[in-house]
Structure 1
Amino acid sequence: MTIPTHTTLTAERRPLRCGEKPTEPKSPLFVGALGFAQFGLFVALLGPVIVSMALKVNTLVADPTGRTSALGVVLGVGAVAAFLGNAVFGRLSDRTTSRFGRRRPWLVGGVLVMAAALLLISQAGSVPVLALGWFIAQLGANAAFAPFIATLADQLPEKQHAKVSAMVGIMQNVAVLAAAQLATRLTDDMLGLFMVPAAIGVLGMVVFALVLPDPVLETPPPRLDARTIAETFWVSPVRHPDFGFAWWSRFLIFLSSFLFTTFRLNFLVDRVELSEAEAAQAIATGILIYTAVLVVAGWAAGVVSDRTGRRKMLVASSTLLFGVGVALLAHADTVSGFYWVEAIMGLAFGIYMSVDMALVLEVLPNRDDSGKDLGVFNMANAIPQSAAPFLGSLLLGVGVGSAGPNYTLMLWTAALIALVGAAVVLPIRKVK
C-alpha cells in the first residue's frame, strides 16, 4: 500500500485555479449550500411566473382576454432581460478580477437587485410599471444565476455531475412547490406575495456565496473588443455541434413547458371552470404531486446516469414523455385529470433535469469561458420564457369564440415541440 506524502495531500487539497478541471468530490456542506441557493432563487423567480404575476395582473385588468394578453406581455418583456442577462453576466463573471472571486460579487449583487425590483412589482399600479419591474427583476436574477450555474463547471468533478445536477433540478422544482404554497397563503397580500419569496432568494444566495471556494482570477483578461462582445451571445454550432444539439433540446422542452405554465391559472379558470382561489389551490396541489414524483425520478435517474455514464437516451426519452403529458393535458377538463397529467410530467421532467445538465457540462466548448458558454446555454431557458407568452397568446386567439381561448391548439403545439426536442438529442456524439 502506498502511503500518501505530505506533498501529495497538499496538492490534492489546494484550492482550484480558474479554469482548472476539478477531480475531488465536493463536500456535503458545499452541495447543501448549492441546493439551498437554487431553491431560494427559484422561489423568488418562479413564484411570479406560476401564480403571483397572474394575480397581480388580475388586480389591474378586468377583461379576461385582456388579462391573458397583459400577462403575456409582462412575462415576455421580463424574459428578454433573462435572455440578455444570462450571456452578459456569465461573460462578465468569467472576466471578474475581484479579490472576492469571479462569481461571488455577481451572486450577491444580482439577488439584491432582484429583490428591489420585486418590491416595485408589489406596489405597481399599472401594467407598464409591472413590465418594467419584471424586466429589472429578471435582469438581477440572471446576473446571479449565470455565475451560479458556472460554479457547477468550476467546482464539480465529472463523477458528481449527474447526482448534483439531479439535486439542483430537484431543488428548483421543490422551489416551484414552495412558491405555489406561499402564493395560496398570501393571495390577498401583494407585498408579502412578492417579498417573502424575495427574502428567501437573497438568503439562499448569500449563504452559498459564503461557502463557495471562489478562486480569484489573477491574470487580467484581454480588453473586450467588438468580436469578443459579439461572441458573448454565440457558440458556433458548426465547431461545437454537440453543444448546439444540447442547446436546441433544452430550448424546445422549455418552450413546450412555458406554453402551459404561463397560462396554467387561466386554463383552470376557463377550461375546468374553477374560481381564481380554487385554481390557485389546484395548482398548488398539482405541483405537490408533480414535485413528489419528480424528486424520486430525478434522484434515481441521477444515480443511474453517474453509475452507467449514460446521458443521451435518458434525456431523449424523458423529453418525449413530457410531450405525451402535454398532449394529454389538452383533453383534461377535470381537476383529477389535471393531477394525473402533473404526475406524468413530473416523472418526465425529473429524469430530464437530473441528466441534462450533466450532459451539458460534458460538451462545454471551453472551461475558461464556462460562465459565458453556460450563459449562452441558459438562453435556451430564457428565450422560451419570452417566446412562449407571445406564441401562446397567438395560439389561444386562433378561432376564439364562445368557447373561449383555444387551449387545445396551444397544448398540441407544445406537445409537438417537445417531440422535436427529443429527436435533436440523438445526434450528440461526445456523450453516451
Structure 2
Amino acid sequence: MQTTPANPHDIGPLEPESTAAATPFPARNYVMIALYWFSLSFLWGGFLSVVLPVLNEPLATPIFGSNNIETARGIMTGIGLIIAMFVQPLAGAISDRSTHPLGRRRPFMIVGTLGVFVALAIVGLAGSWWILLLGYVLLQLLDNVSQGAYQGLMPDVVPDDNRGKASAALAISQLLGTLVGAVIPGILQGVFGKIPGSQIDLVLVGIVFAITLTLTVIFVKEKPYRATEKVSAWAAGLSMFKGVSHYPDFILLMLARFLFLTAPATASLFFKPYLEGPGDLNNPKFGLSFIRPTVNTAGQLEVNAGASLSIILGIVILTATLAAYPFSVLSEKTGRKRMIFIATGIGFVGAIGLLIPAIWISSAAETARTLSGFEAQQSYLDPVRGTALLLVILFGACIGSSWGAFMSVDWAFATDLIPADEAGRFMGLSNLATAGCQAFGAFVGGFVADSVLGYNGLFVLIGIYYITSAVILTRVRETRGRARQQVKTEAALG
C-alpha cells in the first residue's frame, strides 16, 4: 500500500511496487518530478556552445596563443566530460545504497546543487584559464553527482503504470530546458556584451537550479532506504559493469551511438567560432565570418554570433523533436536499423552540406578584397551572408532531425537488446557513450579546427563519424519479442 505523505501535495514513496499501479497519480506530480531536469538542461543547453567559447577566448590566448584557442577549449571540455562519464553512473550506484533519512536521492541532489552554485561563481569570475578550468571541472563533477542520483528518483516514487507518462514529462522538461538554455545566452550576449551577458546567464542558471531544487525537495518525498548489507562506494561503481560482456549487440550499439552522437556534439560545440570566423578579410585561415563584423571602441574588429547561434540551435532542437515521434513509430513497422540508417544519411547530408556556405563566402571574399574600404567590402558580402546563413540553418536542421530520429529509435533499440530486469543498470551505462561522445568530439575537434584543415576539415570529419557509425551498426542483430529472449538465453549460456 502507499505511504500517505504528511503534506497532501507531496509525492509520497510507494510500497510495495506490486500495488503501486492502483495508486492515483495526479498530473502535478509529473511536473514536480520533471522540474529539476529543466534546470540541468537549461545549464548545458548553451553553456558549451555559447558561454564557454566567450569565457575561454581571452583567458586561453595568453597561454595557448590566438591560433590555438579551440585547442584550449577542447582540452578543457574533454577533461570535464570525461569526469562526467564516470561520476554520473558512480553517483547513481552509490545513491542506490544510501540510507540517509531524507531518502536515497535528495541528499545527493542538495549537495550537488550547492556545489554547482560555487562552480558557477568560479567560472563566471575566473581571471585566468587555469581558474576557469578548475571551475568547469567542479561544475561537471558536482552537476553529475546531483544528476546521477536524480535519475533514480522517478523509478523510486512513480507507480509502474505511470512511468510512461513520467518519462514523457522528463523528455518535455529536458527539451524545454535545452531550447531555453540555447537561446537565452545569445540574447544576453547581444544585449549586454559577450562576457557580461555570459555572466548574467550563469546567474540565471543558479536561480533556476535553486527554484527547481527547492520545489523537488519539498514536494517529492522519499522513503529512507534500509540496506541489508554494506557496500563500499568502489564496489557499487564497479558492479555496474558486471556481466555486460554477455551482451555484445548492446556493446556494438553503444559504440555506434558513441560515433553517431559525436557528430552533432562536435557540430554544436564549434558552430559559434565557425559562424564568427576571424572577421578580417585579410585573414584567410578559416574563411570569412557569417556575421558582419563591427569596430569596437578600441578600434578592433569584433564579431558576435551569439544571437544567430541561439536561433540556429533552437531550430536544430525543434527539428530534433519533430523527427523523434514519426521515426520511433516507423521503427516499429520497418525495423530499428533501417530508420537509424536513414537518420545517418540525413546527418551526413547536413555535415557535408555545411561546407557549401563556407566555400561560397570564401569565394565572394575574393571579389570583396578587390574593393576599396572596409564598408564597401562588408556591404558586398552582406547579401551573401544572408543566403549563407539560410543554408547553415537548412543543413543544421538536417543534423538536428537526424539527431532526434536517432535518439528516439536508439533508445528503443537498446531496450530490445538488454535483459528487462536490469534495464536501469544497462541504460545507465549508456551514458558512457552519450557523455563520452562530447568529450571525444571536443578534444579531437579542437585540434582539427586549429589545424590547416580548419572548419571545412571539421565537417568532413563529422561526416566520417556518421559513416563509421553506420558500418558498426551493420554488425548489430535486430531482435525483438522471441528473438530478444533468444539473445538473452544465448548470452546466459555464453
Please, what TM-score do these two structures have when normalized by structure 1? 0.81
* C-alpha separation in 2, matches of 1:246 and 1:394: 27
Q: 1:329 aligns with which of 326, 342, 354?
A: 354
* 1:53 Cα deviation from its structure 2 partner: 0.3
- Pair member with larger Rg: 2
SS class of match (1:199) = helix
| Structure 2: tracts of 5 or more residues without a match | 5-10, 278-286, 294-301, 359-387, 485-494
- Is residue 2:391 matched to residue 1:383? no
Residue number in structure 2 paired with 1:416: 467
> Could you list the per-position Cα deviations for residues 25-64 of structure 1 after superposition, in whole angstroms to 9, with x for gaps in the alignment?
8542232234432221111133321210001012324454
Letter in 2 for 1:202: A
- How far residue 172 of structure 1 moved from its aligned partner, in angstroms, is 2.8
Structure-1 separation of matches of 2:108 and 2:176: 24
Q: Cα gap change, 1:186/1:244 in structure 2, threshold over 3 Å: closer, same or farther? A: same
Structure 1 position 321, deviation (Å): 3.2
Q: Does 1:55 align with 2:54?
A: yes
The one-letter code matched in structure 2 to 1:208 is: T
Find out whether 1:295 has 2:321 as its counterpart.
yes
| Alpha-carbon separation, structure 1, partners of 2:35 and 2:357 | 34
Q: 1:297/1:51 Cα in 2 relative to 1: closer, same or farther (>3 Å)?
A: same
C-alpha distance in 1, partners of 2:222/2:336?
28
Match of 1:407 among 433, 458, 478: 458
Following superposition, the deviation at residue 165 of structure 1 comes to: 4.3
Q: How far apart, CA to CA, are the structure 2 residues paired with 1:315 and 1:217? A: 40
Task: State the structure with bigger RCO (CA 8 A, min sep 6), 1 or 2.
Answer: 1
Against the structure 1 CA distance between its residues 120 and 242, is the aligned structure 2 distance closer, same or farther, given a 3 Å change threshold? same
* One-letter amino acid of the counterpart of residue 328, structure 1: G
Structure 2 CA distance for aligned equivalents of residues 344 and 78 of structure 1: 28
Provide TM-score, normalisation by structure 2: 0.72
| 1:12-411 correspondence runs (5 A) | 15-17=13-15, 23=21, 27-62=26-61, 63-154=65-156, 164-165=166-167, 167-187=169-189, 188=193, 189=196, 190-224=198-232, 228-232=236-240, 234-270=241-277, 271=287, 273=289, 274=291, 275=293, 278-299=304-325, 304=329, 314=339, 317-333=342-358, 334-357=388-411, 360=414, 370=424, 373-400=426-453, 406-411=457-462
Give the Cα–Cα distance (whole angstroms) in 1 for the partners of residues 100 and 201 of structure 2: 35
Output the CA distance in 1 between the equivalents of 2:82 and 2:203.
23
- Give how far 1:99 is off: 2.1
What stretches of structure 1 of length at least 5 have no aligned partner?
A: 1-6
- In the alignment, the residues of structure 2 paired with residue 46 and residue 269 of structure 1 have an alpha-carbon distance, to the nearest angstrom, of 20
Amino acid across the alignment from 2:462: L
**What's the Cα RMSD here?**
3.8
Change (3 A) 1:70 1:196: same
Question: For each residue in 1:378-428, what CA deviation from the matched residue of structure 2 results, as whole angstroms up to 9, or x when unmatched?
Answer: 12222222211111123335544xx77733433333333443465466545
Change in CA separation of 1:20 and 1:265 when aligned onto 2, cut-off 3 Å: farther
Deviations 1:344-395 (A, max 9, x none): 233233333445445556666585893x544422122222222111111233
- Provide Cα deviations, 1:195-221, integer angstroms capped at 9, x if missing partner: 212321332244234443534322344
Q: 1:67 to 1:313 in 2, by over 3 A?
A: same
How high is the sequence identity, in percent, across the aligned residues? 20
Letter in 1 for 2:208: I
CA contact (8 A) 1:253 1:418 kept: yes
